[in-house]
Structure 1
């Protein structure tokens, strides 16, 4: 057996596919142990634990290669997770051996990690002073891109940006050949949610809050840190014209849900237009609205009710019942909550702008906005931002007239323009999405990077804290291996508040630790099975990757069946 010194003698007694077996090794390192032997036709499975050299369960899986002499060959899985080959050849008939009691092993438990799942850390990373030396620094400020410059991070803030900065007691990172940028900000995300992101039972669900379902253990937080993302707006889905309240988070991997929330940020809410809200693809018309006319009337009715509600509840001696749904709409009317509206088609965008003008509220951002190039002048006049995709088109009827130059045209008109993900996977390479604006329309590289850094910060009203490398702002910083707009660039370190939550070298160590922990857990399961503990098949559903249109979890709740499709 590869990986085990000396020859082994396997003794099998009994009949049938499952038999009693023992294994022993002779010589200076002699040992005897029980084994399990299972044969199904020409296939065999042999498991045993020698307790030493190696320590842990050894698993052999092979097949009959010869009947005379009886020979089995196959693969061996060793306790440390490595693999090899084995050959077993019949020697002579074995005598049935007496049973003996094995000493009970000492119970071993794994390390406590944060979060308690894949890619968790045994210790939470700590904030420290860091000086990045001699790098290409993309400031996103009037200084532009600085060559051979330094960035000093101290107490969770950007202390200084310039040349020949003094390190003092700070940890020094050699940035030669590297690029340093502000952390990427995803204006439209659905990660870190639990139990679904669409409350689709009614056309207005302004009372529901993403803040109440934050899942800080979503592995996509870690994966997106590896792509340089430091801040995300977690949005409600697009099942209804007026959806739920958003939550802005920083990707503080390993922290509790409340600790992810971006302190002091403004409140936002999700609106939606188009196919989704009028239930074009639902197959039923059980909920109003089912036409674009009805969508418009939903907005008119809701804001009219909100105005009447605010007036009534403000009256002296009022005993009007508090309505959490209308409270959120009143916040919009008073510029205390801001709209991010899912939108595609020019006619509907014009409709909502007209409704907003007539009822006295403002639209902060049109997201998706793949026909933004048609209405960029109106968006500019109304101070509405556009958060779009880089090069998506023709993936459904509403985007038949989308073009890859959309971002460039809105930007040139003067609309604050950003690229977002709406997808857990795309968010891992938003830097590349920004680079596509250079390809489609020759947007200057500095402006292209702002599409995923400073501009979304402006949309979310946090550009005084993040989005650029300016002294006094939060130390949300990424060190790249190459030009950040390049498909070859890798985020080597990602800092959030001056804490390194992603480090490409430490990640390699984490992967090794996970492999060892996986092997340890497999060993424990095998030991339990060998000792006669009842076994069962693994169960559970893989976590969903949400986007605007994900309704499965909502449907599951409706049918009282988890993840029903």
Structure 2
């Protein structure tokens, strides 16, 4: 039970002040004022604090072992990010420290049709299978533009088809038509020639797209290619989410008519040629046209501060605070078809929530605790205490190792000084004192040994 907090439900109840959040068996049991806690409940004083749903990152590449791209073919729909999850990636913990609880880990954008993606919950300490959000639908990565036609890969990558935007559109069309024929053969129980049907994992994944069983997430930038894929989506009755979609504001009406989502950046632009028309008002303008919009990270570090990325939409476009927070909570949940489980604090939903020291959109907001499925996975007070323990252990190890290192340095100096008269050697305690003093603060209060080559000699 969290008591007396300001609760951003991101649901019909809106923002509740001096309210309580009751969690039972990993689910939100109740949200309101003056709730009665069951006997033996753990109670947290939320006075002066804010509680929000856990942040959902709709475009992430964390926790992947061995790279996110299978770039050898134009179509690699048979490969699966879920097979190469790395539960030991420290970024999982760091993003929990920023309030992120759910992420869609995508295949890269090296192919017009890439691999199958994996929606995960950031259950730090679980194994790879334990990270998987198993109630979430299956997804797959498509991509358009510079990356897939290899225009930014260098002169050694000019032979893989397609090399133009028109080729990208045609390979998408051809692949989906092939999947359609494969599905017909599956239903018939035999190949078109009447012979036995060989299982094709590549076409099987695309057949799932055509059946509505697998969601398409499509990397895109320019309005022309966005409109081109909208025509394909209409032909095959696909409702995708456009990723990046930095010119989405130009064609927001067409995206809205399709019912597609748009997962974009807050204010990225000018990092490559095809994004030259990007503007920071993109998210707000698409929102006003009725598009379900989310802000994502596509970046390990940015996934730790998506709350302040969302806040930029208040400045650039005038979204309300709750509309802005929706960009990283309920909206990405809707895009991923997991809004019945996460994205808002409503009875029956998963107890994924963050306790902040300030309003979540504030640049001063720091998560104090992050909970997933009713279990605490990050606690700032515990983290700070553990840092102190680690620092004490590091200091003890350095103290134990330093005398031997100093002796080794002195012996090395003797060997290099053979030609001349032996210089007087300082006492061991003087060496210890001198080298101990040469350990400046380097990063996050981490002391490192620092000395010049001459001093080392």
How far apart in 2 are the matches of 1:527 and 1:304? 72
* CA contact 1:476–1:497 (8 Å) conserved in 2: yes
TM-score w.r.t. the length of structure 2 is 0.85
Secondary structure of the 1:322 match is: coil
**Does 1 or 2 have the higher relative contact order (CA < 8 Å, sep 6+)?**
2
Q: Pick from 362, 373, 393: which aligns with 1:486?
A: 362
Tell me how far 1:332 sits from its aligned partner.
0.3
Secondary structure of the 1:240 match is: coil
**Residue in 1 that maps onto 2:270:** 394
Q: 1:501 to 1:321 in 2, by over 3 A?
A: same
**Residue in 1 that maps onto 2:226:** 349
**Residue in 2 that maps onto 1:513:** 389
**Residue in 1 that maps onto 2:35:** 165
Determine whether 1:334 maps to 2:211: yes
Q: Pick from 136, 146, 168: which aligns with 2:16?
A: 146
Tell me how far 1:158 sits from its aligned partner.
0.7
Tell me how far 1:136 sits from its aligned partner.
0.6
Secondary structure of the 1:246 match is: strand
Tell me how far 1:485 sits from its aligned partner.
0.4
Superposed CA RMSD: 1.8
TM-score w.r.t. the length of structure 1 is 0.69
Q: 1:133 to 1:279 in 2, by over 3 A?
A: same
Cα offsets for 1:361-386 (capped at 9, x unmatched): 41320010111101110111110001
**Residue in 1 that maps onto 2:175:** 302
Q: 1:523 to 1:263 in 2, by over 3 A?
A: farther
**Residue in 1 that maps onto 2:198:** 321
**Residue in 1 that maps onto 2:288:** 412
**Residue in 2 that maps onto 1:252:** 123
Secondary structure of the 1:309 match is: helix
How far apart in 2 are the matches of 1:337 and 1:524? 57
How far apart in 2 are the matches of 1:198 and 1:159? 41
Tell me how far 1:355 sits from its aligned partner.
1.7
Cα offsets for 1:369-416 (capped at 9, x unmatched): 111101110111110001100111222111111111100011111100
Cα offsets for 1:468-520 (capped at 9, x unmatched): 01011000010010010010000000000111111110001221233344456
Tell me how far 1:171 sits from its aligned partner.
1.3
Q: Extract structure 1 runs of 4+ deviating beyond 6 A.
A: 523-532
**Residue in 2 that maps onto 1:216:** 87
**Residue in 2 that maps onto 1:433:** 309
Determine whether 1:286 maps to 2:159: yes
* CA contact 2:189–2:197 (8 Å) conserved in 1: no
Q: Pick from 308, 319, 324: which aligns with 1:443?
A: 319
Q: Mind listing any 5+ residue stretches in structure 2 that lack a counterpart?
A: 409-457
Tell me how far 1:525 sits from its aligned partner.
6.7
How far apart in 2 are the matches of 1:167 and 1:259? 30
Secondary structure of the 1:171 match is: coil
Of Structure 1 and Structure 2, which has the larger fraction of its residues in strand?
1
Q: 1:244 to 1:523 in 2, by over 3 A?
A: farther
Tell me how far 1:293 sits from its aligned partner.
1.2
Tell me how far 1:188 sits from its aligned partner.
0.2
How far apart in 1 are the matches of 2:330 and 2:313? 15
* CA contact 1:482–1:489 (8 Å) conserved in 2: yes
Tell me how far 1:528 sits from its aligned partner.
9.4
Cα offsets for 1:33-92 (capped at 9, x unmatched): xxxxxxxxxxxxxxxxxxxxxxxxxxxxxxxxxxxxxxxxxxxxxxxxxxxxxxxxxxxx
Determine whether 1:274 maps to 2:145: yes
Compare 297-306 and 229-238 and name the one that shifted more: 297-306
Tell me how far 1:304 sits from its aligned partner.
1.4
How far apart in 2 are the matches of 1:521 and 1:324? 53
How far apart in 1 are the matches of 2:113 and 2:400? 50
How far apart in 1 are the matches of 2:143 and 2:392? 47
Q: Mind listing any 5+ residue stretches in structure 1 that lack a counterpart?
A: 1-130, 533-565
Structural mapping, 1:55-134, within 5 Å: 131-134=1-4
Tell me how far 1:316 sits from its aligned partner.
3.5
* CA contact 1:158–1:469 (8 Å) conserved in 2: yes
* CA contact 1:340–1:363 (8 Å) conserved in 2: no
Higher-Rg structure is 1
Q: 1:523 to 1:217 in 2, by over 3 A?
A: farther
Q: 1:396 to 1:316 in 2, by over 3 A?
A: closer
* CA contact 1:332–1:361 (8 Å) conserved in 2: no
Tell me how far 1:530 sits from its aligned partner.
11
